[in-house]
């Protein structure tokens, strides 16, 4: 009798296990960001915490990277579940633009949401004498990591302005923090970086240096065309910046891939929009994340899980 009861109990447990969803299986979510002194990183930390709290059994990780181009390639290799990337980089990845760093079409990419815009911010040491784009030839400049989203932005801005890298006195391929350190040490005149407003590396630089933020006139931005749009860096965004500065903006996109389950993508989308206060606490750039704009201008298909959330919210009819 005891053996029969034991066998029956084991069978019952097996049936229960087979019939019950595996909600306790560990879900690993690697959030791909950018450099630690940029905007992607603090927002990625906030996302990882939101997912760790909201997705049962999840284990999250934040990975600092060279940002857009590296992030998209990592996603395509299955080495991340969600990533921040610039809209133009996403479009080039979908096309398989080899010059931009994508030797093949990354057809597995799927969008989670269009989020906040990045602003192209050209920062120059005031002592360099750089005030306008016309002052850049003969000066030294960093344009972001090689083939990064920022560097792709630099190429587009330079071409539209009729400037080439060869016109510069010295060209460096360095991300935010390294560029700021060289400017502080008077070893670099300027840097072009693409980031949300109020980015930490510029705030840090203004604590010790007088800087000029170089205008990118609207006619140059219009010449480049979408996804670049004319924008303004409002006066007072940085210490010593007394005037509005015209520049270019490019939308950021949260990207995943088709190997991520629909349920996980649904939860990642839902939890972000339900916790925008935590995102805004991590960085003010998140104030521009708006669910009503979340599916506008996406150059790649939505993940089915994200689409399900937008249908629930009436964003997709």
CB 293 within 8 A of CB 283: no
- What is the reported pLDDT for 25? 55
The backbone region for 261, taken as left when phi is positive above 0, alpha when psi lies in -120 to 50, beta otherwise, is beta
Cα 293 to Cα 32, 85, 298: the distances in Å are 22, 16, 10
Residue 99: which of 108, 107, 88, 114 has the closest Cα?
88
CB 34 within 8 A of CB 199: no
Residue 84: which of 92, 96, 76, 72 has the closest Cα?
72
- What is the reported pLDDT for 176? 83
User: Bridge-partner residues for 121, per DSSP?
Assistant: 193
Task: Classify residue 291 as exposed, middle or buried by CB count within 10 Å of its CB (0-12, 13-18, 19+).
Answer: middle
From first to last of its 317 residues, what are the pLDDT tens digits of the chain?
Answer: 333 333 334 333 333 333 333 334 578 999 999 988 889 999 999 999 999 999 999 999 999 999 999 999 999 999 999 999 999 999 999 999 999 999 999 999 999 999 999 999 999 999 999 999 999 999 999 998 887 889 999 999 999 999 999 999 999 999 888 999 999 999 999 999 998 898 889 999 999 999 999 999 999 999 999 889 999 999 999 999 999 999 999 999 999 999 999 999 999 999 999 999 999 999 999 999 999 999 999 999 999 999 999 999 999 99
CA distance 91 to 190: 28
For strands 82-86 and 27-32, give the pairing.
parallel
CB 38 within 8 A of CB 67: yes
- What is the reported pLDDT for 148? 86
The model carries a pTM of 0.83
Residue 211: which of 190, 187, 234 has the closest Cα?
190
Domains of the chain, start order: 27-116+252-312 (3.40.190.10), 118-250 (3.40.190.10)
Cis omega (within 30 of 0) on the bond before 86?
A: no
- What is the reported pLDDT for 74? 98
CA distance 81 to 47: 12
The backbone region for 126, taken as left when phi is positive above 0, alpha when psi lies in -120 to 50, beta otherwise, is alpha
CA distance 131 to 1: 91
Calculate the CA 259 to chain-centre distance: 20
Q: Which residues of 177-216 are buried (b: 16+ CB within 10 A; e: fewer)?
A: ebbbebbeeeebbbbbbbbbbebbbbebbbeebebbbbbb
- What is the reported pLDDT for 20? 32
Looking at residue 299, the DSSP 8-state letter turns out to be S
Residues 6+ apart with CB under 8 A from 287: 116, 280
- What is the reported pLDDT for 272? 98
């Amino acid at each position: 009798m005891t053996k029969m009861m034991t066998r029956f109990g084991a069978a019952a447990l097996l049936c229960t296990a087979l019939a019950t969803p595996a909600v306790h299986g560990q879900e690993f979510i690697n959030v791909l960001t950018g450099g630690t002194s940029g905007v992607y990183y603090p927002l990625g930390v906030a996302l990882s915490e939101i997912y760790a709290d909201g997705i049962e059994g999840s284990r999250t990780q934040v990975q600092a990277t060279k940002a857009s181009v590296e992030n998209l390639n990592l996603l395509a290799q299955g080495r991340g579940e969600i990533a921040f990337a610039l809209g133009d980089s996403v479009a080039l990845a979908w096309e398989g633009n080899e010059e931009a760093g994508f030797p093949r079409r990354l057809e597995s990419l799927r969008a989670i949401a269009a989020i906040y815009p990045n602003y192209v911010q050209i920062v120059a040491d005031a002592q360099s004498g750089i005030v306008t784009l016309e002052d850049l030839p003969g000066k030294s400049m960093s344009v972001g990591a090689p083939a990064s989203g920022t560097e792709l932005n630099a190429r587009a801005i330079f071409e539209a302005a009729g400037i080439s890298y060869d016109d510069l006195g010295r060209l460096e391929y360095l991300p935010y923090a390294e560029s700021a350190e060289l400017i502080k040490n008077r070893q670099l005149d300027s840097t072009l970086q693409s980031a949300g407003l109020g980015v930490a590396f510029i705030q840090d630089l203004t604590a010790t240096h007088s800087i000029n933020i170089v205008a990118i006139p609207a006619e140059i931005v219009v010449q480049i065309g979408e996804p670049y749009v004319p924008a303004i860096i409002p006066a007072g965004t940085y210490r010593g910046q007394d005037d509005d500065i015209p520049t270019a903006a490019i939308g950021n996109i949260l990207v995943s891939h088709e190997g991520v389950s629909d349920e996980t993508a649904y939860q990642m989308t839902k939890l972000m929009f339900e916790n925008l206060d935590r995102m805004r606490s991590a960085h003010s750039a998140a104030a521009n994340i708006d669910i009503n704009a979340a599916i506008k201008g996406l150059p790649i298909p939505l993940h089915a899980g994200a689409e399900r959330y937008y249908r629930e919210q009436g964003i997709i009819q």
